[in-house]
């Protein structure tokens, strides 16, 4: 019987696949109604420097954000670049290009509603909001991709999670067309996630609970996505997501904020988040209950406050060495 390492060597050599035929390029210019910081708004979707689904590239006239997406009509490559006047140039290649172009405003936060948000409730939030008026909450509108991505980040370091995501998408995703700065891949379709063998999840760096959660969710994939998209509010979305074994409140919240730009999503159970929120707002650590209490005055807009805290640069001084996780993939 072949070892897992030998089996991995037989995975499709997607890095050597010829670049797919891009077909005609589709372009548009998105002009936001108010200030927009494209990088701050869209960079949150990138999972590490080697993410095969999103990358930054330097061009002669500025930075270009590249995205590889699986749309309802096929895969696409999307390039975004902000002009000096604030408008965003977008170009897309591949069979999903029309969907991707139509989705650009949502990705850039056009539907972000800050009604009821009061930055003046805390001096730090007021100052960061003043400094970052273009920070918007965008949405990818790809629910299962966001769910699978969030599951890979359960209870591990970001370095481990980013590596697992990169391997799985490169091994089992689909290379997108277009002049991407490096080979880029859209995530597998829902059925593709369901059919990934257990040994491949292991070699990618996922633990059995994570791989089981992805496969279980994929078995209910289409109906689960429909339930989440039809849900009236965050509570209903959480109920639908957490009905799947292996998906808890943290994963549900991360899925909501990435796929749907939910302005009130709070990732309870995060290893660092409560400490960061507590230190920024009070100068002291708090637990999850304390974080929820501190964010209560911004009910309905709590994710916006969290994003502003993360953008503030305020960090609690490090108290211990960095964790060096052990690699179990060869076991």
User: Which CATH number goes with the domain that contains 90?
Assistant: 3.30.310
Q: Residue 192: inside a domain, yes or no?
A: no
CA–CA dist 145, 280 (Å, integer): 31
As for how many domains the chain has, the answer is: 1
CA–CA dist 42, 172 (Å, integer): 24
Strands (DSSP E) contained in 153-227 are 174-175, 185-186
Q: What was the pLDDT predicted at 17?
A: 55
CA–CA dist 69, 142 (Å, integer): 9
Q: Name the nearest CA neighbour of 55 among 146, 142, 183, 222.
A: 183
Cα-Cα-Cα-Cα dihedral of 103, 105, 108, 114, to 10°? -120
Q: Residue 52: inside a domain, yes or no?
A: yes
Q: What was the pLDDT predicted at 15?
A: 47
CA–CA dist 258, 328 (Å, integer): 29
Instruction: Give the relative orientation of helices 221-230 and 234-242 as an angle to the nearest 10 degrees.
Output: 160
Q: Residue 11: inside a domain, yes or no?
A: no
Q: Residue 235: inside a domain, yes or no?
A: no
Q: Residue 91: inside a domain, yes or no?
A: yes
Q: Residue 331: inside a domain, yes or no?
A: no
- Contact between 272 and 168 under an 8 Å Cβ cutoff? The reply is no
Q: Name the nearest CA neighbour of 189 among 296, 304, 96.
A: 96
Question: Mean pLDDT across the chain, nearest whole number?
Answer: 91
Strands (DSSP E) contained in the chain are 26-30, 54-59, 62-71, 74-82, 88-93, 174-175, 185-186
Q: Residue 72: inside a domain, yes or no?
A: yes
Q: What was the pLDDT predicted at 326?
A: 56
CA–CA dist 323, 13 (Å, integer): 33
3 state SS of 132: coil
CA–CA dist 166, 203 (Å, integer): 12
Q: Per-residue pLDDT tens for 95-121?
A: 999 999 999 999 999 999 999 999 999
Q: Residue 117 is part of which domain span?
A: 27-125
Written as tens digits, the pLDDT of the chain (331 aa) is: 334 344 444 455 454 455 677 778 999 999 999 999 999 999 999 999 999 999 999 887 889 999 999 999 999 999 999 999 999 999 999 999 999 999 999 999 999 999 999 999 999 999 999 999 999 999 999 999 999 999 999 988 888 999 999 999 999 999 999 999 999 999 999 999 999 999 999 999 999 999 999 999 999 999 999 999 999 899 999 999 999 999 999 999 999 999 999 999 999 999 899 999 999 999 999 999 999 999 999 999 999 999 999 999 998 886 655 545 555 555 5
Q: Which two tokens stand for residue 325?
A: 């996780």
Model-wide pTM > 0.75: yes
Q: Residue 62: inside a domain, yes or no?
A: yes
Q: Name the nearest CA neighbour of 211 among 200, 222, 221.
A: 200
């Amino acid at each position: 019987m072949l070892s897992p390492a030998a089996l991995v060597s037989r995975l499709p050599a997607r890095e050597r696949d010829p670049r797919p035929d891009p077909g005609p390029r589709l372009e548009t210019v998105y002009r936001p109604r108010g200030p927009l910081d494209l990088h701050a708004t869209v960079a949150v979707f990138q999972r590490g420097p080697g993410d095969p689904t999103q990358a930054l590239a330097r061009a002669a006239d500025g930075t270009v954000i590249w995205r590889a997406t699986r749309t309802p009509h096929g895969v696409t490559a999307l390039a975004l670049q902000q002009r000096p006047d604030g408008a965003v140039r977008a170009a897309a290649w591949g069979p999903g290009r029309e969907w991707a172009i139509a989705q650009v405003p949502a990705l850039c936060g056009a539907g972000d509603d800050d009604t009821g948000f009061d930055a003046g409730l805390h001096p730090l939030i007021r100052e960061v909001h003043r400094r970052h008026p273009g920070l918007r909450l965008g949405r990818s509108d790809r629910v299962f991709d966001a769910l699978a991505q969030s599951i890979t980040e359960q209870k591990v370091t970001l370095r481990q999670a980013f590596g697992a995501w990169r391997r799985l998408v490169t091994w089992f995703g689909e290379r997108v067309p277009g002049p991407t700065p490096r080979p880029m891949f859209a995530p597998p379709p829902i059925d593709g996630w369901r059919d990934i063998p257990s040994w491949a999840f292991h070699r990618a760096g996922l633990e059995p609970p994570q791989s089981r959660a992805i496969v279980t969710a994929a078995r209910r994939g289409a109906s689960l996505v429909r339930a989440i998209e039809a849900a009236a509010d965050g509570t209903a979305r959480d109920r639908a997501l957490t009905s799947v074994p292996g998906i808890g409140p943290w994963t549900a919240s991360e899925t909501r904020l990435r796929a749907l730009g939910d302005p009130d999503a709070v990732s309870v159970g995060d290893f660092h988040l409560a400490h960061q929120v507590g230190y920024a707002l009070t100068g002291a650590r708090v637990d999850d209950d304390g974080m929820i209490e501190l964010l209560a005055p911004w009910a309905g807009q709590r994710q916006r406050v969290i994003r502003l805290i993360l953008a503030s640069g305020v960090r609690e001084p490090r108290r211990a060495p960095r964790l060096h996780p052990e690699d179990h993939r060869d076991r």
